[in-house]
């Protein structure tokens, strides 16, 4: 157990400390950071040209209240038309509004080089409408009852019915997230694992290591090391995603979107953080074992780049095979494939998301997967020494046959 841990630790630290791993983990954050940065720069560049307006008025109360409500859009230190004209000429102002009251009627005139910003216009108009109606009420000298009657507002309510559409959307979103997650992790780590193993093939360091610990322990240690690396990456993404989610809730616009689609977000999270996650992780394990095995089957260390092919091909086949069935997972083929190791990690989650798999079916599929992984690891562990120490240039099948014949007990 002790030596297994030493191999695991060595594999893990060497991978995690490598530049390639750091880039792999940080790349999505760098990309998101870059696109946010570019967005922010272009936003601030745009908002920079969006200069403020001035309010010129002989009615201090009216002016002050308007300024108080729109601090960000109004330059309050400009108080005369002369000042405003000068600033407008220098493009320090996008315009100015002259506000006056004549015979209890508020009059506002905008002077500018281009039309007033529509958002600001709406806000100012709303404010002026309110101010005018207050002035009207004062002029009319109405009784409190009349005022109350006039202030009645219509009631508008929204009662939305949650239809099947949203649940279906949640399923589709979960499907794509899950399938892509499995696929991306496998494509990345199949080659990392295969190369890690293949680069040691036939080297004398393997003789030294096998004169220190059993090949089976070494093999399992390597697999565990790679799995820890994968878990580290997933954990970094999960933490980053969670942090991003919390941050997004504070961003204007995104928070409304999240609030409006809370059910969808919850459904997707529920679909991901369920037994599907176990299928995902076990899928990663079995493909990692396959990659390690094919890494051990290359002719020599120099062929390491080819080593990942069997695992990547198989995962691509399984990945693309899911496409036709994302909405009709109750057909016979996906049903069968949801029990077949290497495929079940894609197909069973689809059936689970579509609520078409019973707990018994899920358990059987999981059991088949776990037993296959254990048998494969046990078997490869036994022939691993033979595979790693032979360095002949014979064909793939010959090497495999020799490796299998190497089994010692």
Partner 1 sequence: MLDIAHLHKQFGSVTALDDVTFSVAPGQIMGLIGQNGAGKSTTFHSILNFLHYDGQISWQNQPITETVFNEIGYLPEERSLMPKLTVEQQIVYLAELKNRPAKEIRPKIDDWLKRFAVKGNRKDKIKSLSKGNQQKVQLICTLIHEPKLIILDEPFSGLDPVNADLLKQAILDAKAAGAAIIFSSHDMENVASLCDSLVMLKNGQVVLSGTVEAVRAQFGKTELFVTTDQTQAQLAQLPHVTDVHQLHQRQYLLHLDTPDAGPEVFEALTHGQYIEEFRQQPPTLDEIFRLKAGEPNA
Which of 284, 286, 314 minimizes the C-alpha distance to 373? 286
Residue number, 215 or 290, with CB nearest to partner 1: 215
**Least CB distance from residue 16 to partner 1, whole Å?**
13
Residue number, 213 or 326, with CB nearest to partner 1: 213
The alpha carbon torsion through 83, 88, 92, 96 (nearest 10 deg) reads 80
**Least CB distance from residue 224 to partner 1, whole Å?**
15
Residue number, 83 or 391, with CB nearest to partner 1: 391
**Least CB distance from residue 408 to partner 1, whole Å?**
6
Residue number, 73 or 196, with CB nearest to partner 1: 196
Residue number, 214 or 232, with CB nearest to partner 1: 214
Residue number, 296 or 357, with CB nearest to partner 1: 296
The Cα–Cα gap between 180 and 315 comes to 11
Element (H, E) at 78: none
Interacting residues with partner 1 (CB under 8 A): 2-3, 6-7, 10, 14, 203-205, 207-214, 217, 385, 389, 406, 408
**Least CB distance from residue 200 to partner 1, whole Å?**
9
Contacts 24+ apart (CB under 8 A), 297-303: 297/387, 297/396, 297/399, 297/400, 297/403, 298/198, 298/201, 299/201, 299/391, 299/392, 299/393, 299/394, 299/399, 300/201, 300/202, 300/391, 300/393, 301/198, 301/199, 301/200, 301/201, 301/202, 301/203, 303/198
Per the structure block, which two tokens stand in for 229?
A: 């690396």
Helix then strand count (H, E) for the chain reads 17, 3
Residue number, 24 or 272, with CB nearest to partner 1: 24
**Least CB distance from residue 258 to partner 1, whole Å?**
44
- Under DSSP, is residue 54 helix (H, G, I), strand (E, B) or coil? strand
**Least CB distance from residue 185 to partner 1, whole Å?**
24
Letter string b/e over residues 113-136, b meaning 16 or more CB atoms within 10 A of that residue's CB: eeebbeebeeebeebbeebeeeee
**Least CB distance from residue 24 to partner 1, whole Å?**
17
In this structure, the number of other CB atoms found within 10 A of the CB of residue 72 comes to 6
């Amino acid at each position: 157990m002790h030596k297994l841990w030493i191999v695991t630790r060595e594999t893990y630290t060497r991978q995690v400390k490598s530049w390639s791993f750091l880039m792999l983990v940080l790349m999505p954050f760098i990309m998101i950071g870059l696109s946010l940065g570019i967005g922010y720069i272009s936003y601030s560049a745009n908002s920079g040209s969006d200069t403020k307006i001035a309010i010129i008025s002989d009615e201090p109360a009216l002016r002050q209240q308007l300024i108080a409500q729109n601090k960000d859009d109004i330059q309050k230190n400009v108080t005369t038309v002369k000042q405003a004209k000068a600033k407008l000429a220098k493009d320090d102002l996008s315009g100015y509004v002259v506000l006056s009251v004549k015979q209890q009627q508020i009059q506002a005139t905008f002077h500018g080089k281009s039309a007033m910003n529509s958002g600001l216009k709406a806000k100012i108009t709303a404010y002026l409408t309110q101010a005018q109606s207050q002035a009207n009420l004062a002029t009319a000298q109405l009784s409190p009852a009349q005022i109350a009657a006039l202030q009645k507002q219509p009631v508008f309510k929204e009662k939305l019915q949650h239809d099947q559409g949203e649940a279906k959307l949640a399923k589709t979103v979960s499907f794509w997230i899950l399938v892509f997650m499995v696929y991306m992790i496998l494509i990345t780590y199949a080659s990392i694992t295969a190369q890690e193993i293949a680069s040691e093939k036939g080297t004398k360091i393997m003789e030294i290591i096998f004169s220190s610990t059993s090949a089976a322990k070494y093999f399992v240690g390597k697999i565990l090391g790679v799995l820890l690396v994968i878990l580290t990456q997933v954990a970094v993404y999960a933490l980053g995603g969670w942090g991003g989610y919390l941050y997004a809730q504070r961003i204007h616009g995104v928070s409304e979107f999240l609030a409006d689609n809370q059910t969808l977000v919850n459904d997707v999270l529920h679909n991901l953080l369920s037994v599907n996650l176990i299928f995902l992780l076990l899928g990663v394990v079995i493909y990692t074992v396959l990659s390690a095995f094919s890494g051990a089957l290359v002719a020599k260390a120099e062929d390491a780049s080819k080593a990942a092919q069997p695992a990547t091909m198989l995962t691509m086949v399984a990945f693309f095979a899911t496409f036709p069935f994302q909405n009709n997972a109750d057909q016979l083929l996906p049903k069968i494939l949801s029990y077949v190791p290497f495929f079940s990690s894609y197909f069973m989650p689809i059936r689970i998301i579509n609520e078409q798999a019973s707990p018994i079916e899920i358990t059987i599929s999981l059991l088949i997967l776990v037993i296959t992984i254990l048998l494969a690891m046990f078997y490869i562990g036994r022939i691993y020494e033979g595979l790693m120490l032979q360095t002949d240039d014979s064909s793939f099948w010959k090497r495999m046959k020799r490796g299998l014949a190497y089994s010692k007990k």
